[in-house]
Amino acid sequence: MTIPIAFSCVFVIEIIENQASFLDNASAGWMNTNDAVSGNGNLKKMNMFNAINNAMDLALQEDKTALLFGEDVGFGGVFRCSVNLRDKYGNDRVFNTPLCEQGIAGFAIGVANTGATAIAEIQFADYIFPSFDQIINEAAKYRYRSGGLFDCGSLTFRVPCGAVGHGALYHSQSPEGYFAHTPGLRVVIPRGPIKAKGLLLACIKDHNPCIVFEPKTLYRAAVEEVPTNFYTSELGKADILRKGNDLTLIGWGTQVHVLLEVADLSKKHLGIECEVIDLVSILPWDRNTICNSVRKTGRVIVAHEAPYTQGFGAELAACIQETCFLQLEAPVKRVTGWDTPFPHVFEPFYLPDKHRCLAAVREIFNY
């Protein structure tokens, strides 16, 4: 079956069956200078939920005030991120909450207010909306409104997000756009095990309320050699994963792996050298790295699973054209999910897959 694309290009494309096929390339992993890893750490092969589990183990060990709670975290969590932690640290520190997201968020904010470290899990990003009021109106504004007297800086939310192949409307959403709109919060999204551990530990140590959106499809699929010691990834810093002079590709989470494959395909089929950047931090985001890259290449594509209108790509596009206008050779292009609820049956058409991204590369390069 073919999907015709924009400008009568002669690509004939197959529909991708397996959402995780692109991850075959990713298992090699990479270490980035933005990950503050000490030189003599041991490495262990871990998938993303192992890495997150390891991170929380280290956090609970190092910080005696740290608490971990959420729906079903006690037995290990529906994605196995908190396996063995209750046995190790006890029921007082690792415990289940009832099914009440608004309550969980408010409760977590209260814990953090006292200075204790709160690691709260919202089971799926799709369920975060009852907590939205607490996060936006309480967590993000506490320090500001009390003149610095109180804050919930020791608060971190962990939230599985993103498409998984069959999640349909309520197990696939990427809500980073809603939270990016709220000063006072940090929002980060890991692309794999090393980053997941580093970012989580960084957020736990950071003195601001943080949300880590963990792409659930990577929990098992992404495997890397992860340092076993305590390390943090730099917050607010984007990672350049592949250097290139022709075109900048920006993504986060699962989409980063798609873009790396697109960069390979661009080089192979189109002779175009793409620079691939994982934004990592959505709020605040790394303007310097992005703009330096755009000034170099003059062309940029942003890709994300969340819908097109008012997706985070819109913020990037607006800012890039503001700061790099004269260096741009083409408009900033966004390849995103469509403006519909995340579909039950149309998922392969909805996602910004490698074919759509590659078509965008051609379009922007030939502009």
Partner 1 sequence: MAVGLPVPKLDVPDECESMSESMDEVRVLRLQKDFHLHRLECGPEMLVRLGKEDAKVYYRQMVAIRRLEAAASLLYKERLVRGFCHLYTGQEACAVGIKAAMRPEDTLIAGYRVHGWAYLMGVSALGVLAELTGRLSGCAKGKGGSMHMYGQGFYGGTGIVGDQVPLGAGIALAKKYSNNGGVCFALYGDGAANQGQIFECFNMACLWKLPIVFVCENNNYGMGTSAERAACNIKYYTRGDVLPGIWVNGQDILAVRSAAEFAIDHAQKRGPLLLELSTHRYYGHSMSDPGTGYRPREEIQNVRIKYDPINSFRLLCQGNVILSQNELKQIDDEVRHEVNEAIGRAKKDEELPINHLWSDVYAGHVEGNMRDVHGYNLKHVRTKASNA
Choose between 175 and 198: whose C-beta lies nearer to partner 1. 175
Kindly indicate which of the ranges 33-41, 166-174, 266-274, 280-288 contains the residues binding partner 1, using the contact rule CB under 8 A.
166-174
Residue 338 touches partner 1, criterion: CB under 8 A: yes
Residue 11 touches partner 1, criterion: CB under 8 A: no
Secondary structure of 244-274 as H, E, C letters:
CCCEEEEECCHHHHHHHHHHHHHHHHHCCCE
Exactly one of 24, 318, 344, 366 binds partner 1 (CB under 8 A); that residue is 344
171 is catalytic: yes
Choose between 130 and 284: whose C-beta lies nearer to partner 1. 130
Mutual angle of helices 287-297 and 312-324, in 10-degree steps? 60
Token pair belonging to 28: 């090699």
Q: What is the three-class DSSP state of 179?
A: helix
Residue 90 touches partner 1, criterion: CB under 8 A: no
What are the distances in angstroms from CA 135 to CA 110, 207, 232? 12, 15, 24
Choose between 229 and 340: whose C-beta lies nearer to partner 1. 340
Residue 362 touches partner 1, criterion: CB under 8 A: no
Q: Which ranges of 35-189 does DSSP label H, i.e. alpha helix?
A: 48-62, 85-89, 101-113, 132-133, 142-145, 176-180
Q: What's the order of all strands across the beta sheet hosting 333-337?
A: 239-242, 274-278, 247-251, 300-307, 333-337
Residue 367 touches partner 1, criterion: CB under 8 A: no
Q: Report which DSSP code applies to 192.
A: S
Exactly one of 25, 349, 366, 367 binds partner 1 (CB under 8 A); that residue is 349
Q: How far is the CB of 99 from partner 1 (least distance, A)?
A: 5
Q: How far is the CB of 12 from partner 1 (least distance, A)?
A: 13
Q: How far is the CB of 8 from partner 1 (least distance, A)?
A: 9
Kindly indicate which of the ranges 94-102, 110-118, 176-184, 294-302 contains the residues binding partner 1, using the contact rule CB under 8 A.
94-102
Residue 15 touches partner 1, criterion: CB under 8 A: no
Beta bridge partners of 275: 248
Bond prior to 284 in cis (omega within 30° of 0): yes
Give the Cα separation of 123 and 99 in Å (integer).
10
Q: Which ranges of 270-328 does DSSP label H, i.e. alpha helix?
A: 287-297, 312-324
Please tell me the count of residues contacting partner 1 according to CB under 8 A: 39
Residue of 121, 171, 176, 234 with catalytic role: 171
Residue 331 touches partner 1, criterion: CB under 8 A: no
| Near partner 1 in 37-76, by CB under 8 A | 71-72, 75
| Near partner 1 in 297-326, by CB under 8 A | 308-309
Q: How far is the CB of 359 from partner 1 (least distance, A)?
A: 8
101 is catalytic: yes
Contact 141, 170 (CB under 8 A): no
Kindly indicate which of the ranges 49-57, 124-132, 154-162, 275-283 contains the residues binding partner 1, using the contact rule CB under 8 A.
124-132
Q: How far is the CB of 6 from partner 1 (least distance, A)?
A: 3
Buried b (16+ CB within 10 A) or exposed e, 15-50: eeeebbebbeebeebeebebbebeeeeeeeebbbbb
Beta bridge partners of 47: 223
What are the distances in angstroms from CA 156 to CA 59, 118, 133, 286, 352? 12, 6, 16, 20, 29
Residue 36 touches partner 1, criterion: CB under 8 A: no
Residue 219 touches partner 1, criterion: CB under 8 A: no
End-to-end CA distance of the chain: 28
Q: How far is the CB of 98 from partner 1 (least distance, A)?
A: 4
Residue 5 touches partner 1, criterion: CB under 8 A: yes
Using CB under 8 A, list all residues that contact partner 1: 3-7, 71-72, 75, 96, 98-100, 102-103, 126-127, 129-130, 165-171, 308-309, 334, 336, 338-341, 343-346, 349-350
The residues assigned a catalytic role are 101, 171
